[in-house]
Amino acid sequence: MKISTAVNQLTGCLEIVEKALPVRSTIPVINNILLEISQNKLIFSSTNLEMFIKVHLDHESSENGKILLPPKIVDIMRSLPPTEVDIDINLDNYNINIYCGSANFNLYGSNPEDYPVSFDSQINAVSGFNINKKTLKKILRMIVFAASNEETRPAFNGIFFSFKENILSLTASDTYRLAYKEVKDDAWLFEEDRCLVPARSLRELLRILDDTDGDIKMFHHSNLITFQFNGIYFASRLLEEKYPDVSGVIPGEYKTRIVIDRKKLEDIINRAALLAEGKNQAVNLLIREKQFEVTVMSPEGSMEEKIPVEQEGEDLDLFVNSRFLLDILKIIDDQKIFIDFHGEGGPVIFRLLNDNSYLYLVLPIKKVN
């Protein structure tokens, strides 16, 4: 069996499916990439049993067959010059010969007989809904970073999806901060539903999504959420933990509101973070007479910087984790943003001037007397 195609096309497919390969697994068969060859396409698949990725590549072939490719083939394809590559596969002994320019590799594939069944067989009868790819990418970037990475809090390792009528809402929190976003589409008509998606799966999906136009077909079925676009099928198992009701941590009226230049604030916090120390990386925020001041003190020195802001409400003095501030300031593109404060012990909430469907909440650090 022979495959002839462009190196960059093949490498692109392999780099996508590589994202679902397990880091460590006691099941040897899933450490490989499944290649299925049909008359008009190549299908690459991988899974770590939490995620499953399948990629289609158009390719004319006179034969059909399956083989497990060793993961090293991804690095090999990356190393080849951007030209045509020929791959000869012997399905009797699973030998793989790769020819590209003056390079020749011989790899040992394996029998695909025990490879897990694709998750997509579970959604054939399920109708999904379409969401713009750029929209989904933007939403995920605004939400996923706020989820916890600590395995001791499994519920907070997930992104909470809520479906209701024509609104999809996403929530992420690590208990110190929270990000929330709604997206509405009049073409949707959801039955009320909810699910908890592993944040690490969505981080991998983000790495796959490009900035081209088009829609993604999205399905929620049983214990899976799936995304189909551009010949790619991406599925993730859902978390079974119950997500807590976090609506109570979002206060109503603010005591102080400022409108501030996002880029200037990002630059100031970046400078202050150079001296911020300890687990909390704390910086001191002060608001007085329409001046926003950032200060930090450490054994290495101190820093302070002020910028004028539009201010409503009372003056304020509190400490916040500088990393939590930079995480949001690096993601949003708006020139100016709202920041709402709820007293020295209350949360700090970032809001967008032209999008009231998004908020990012950060809890202040308690002062030590």
Instruction: Round to whole Å and give the CA distance between 168 and 188.
Output: 9
Q: What Å distances lie between residue 129 and 123, 133, 257, 289, CA to CA?
A: 13, 12, 38, 50
Domain closes at, from 116, 150, 174? 116
Give me the pLDDT at residue 248, please.
Answer: 85
Per-residue pLDDT band at 222 (split at 50, 70, 90): confident
* pTM of the model as a whole: 0.92
How many CB atoms neighbour CB 60 within 10 A?
A: 8
Query: Which residue range forms the structural domain that includes residue 133?
Result: 127-247
Give the residue from 319, 327, 329, 340 showing the smallest Cα distance to 276: 319
Q: Is the pLDDT of residue 54 over 50?
A: yes
Residues in the chain: 369
The neighbouring-strand residues paired with 38 are none
CB 244 within 8 A of CB 148: no
Specify whether 104 is located in the same domain as 154.
Answer: no
Specify whether 135 is located in the same domain as 241.
Answer: yes
Q: What Å distances lie between residue 361 and 147, 247, 248, 342, CA to CA?
A: 12, 11, 12, 11
The neighbouring-strand residues paired with 34 are 45, 68
**For 322-327, what is the mean pLDDT?**
97
Specify whether 108 is located in the same domain as 203.
Answer: no
Domain closes at, from 247, 281, 316? 247
Asked whether residue 368 is assigned to any structural domain, the reply reads no
Domain closes at, from 116, 145, 167? 116
Specify whether 23 is located in the same domain as 102.
Answer: yes
Q: What is the DSSP letter of 138?
A: H
Instruction: Round to whole Å and give the CA distance between 343 and 89.
Output: 68
Asked whether residue 121 is assigned to any structural domain, the reply reads no
CB 231 within 8 A of CB 212: no
- Number of structural domains the chain divides into: 3
Question: Residue 54 burial by CB count (10 A; 0-12/13-18/19+): exposed, middle or buried?
Answer: buried
Asked whether residue 290 is assigned to any structural domain, the reply reads yes
Tell me: the pLDDT tens digits for 117-175?
766 665 555 668 999 999 999 999 999 999 999 988 899 999 999 999 999 999 999 99
- Domain of 276, CATH number, reads 3.10.150.10
The neighbouring-strand residues paired with 188 are none
Tell me: the pLDDT tens digits for 248-289?
889 989 999 999 999 999 999 999 999 998 888 999 999 999
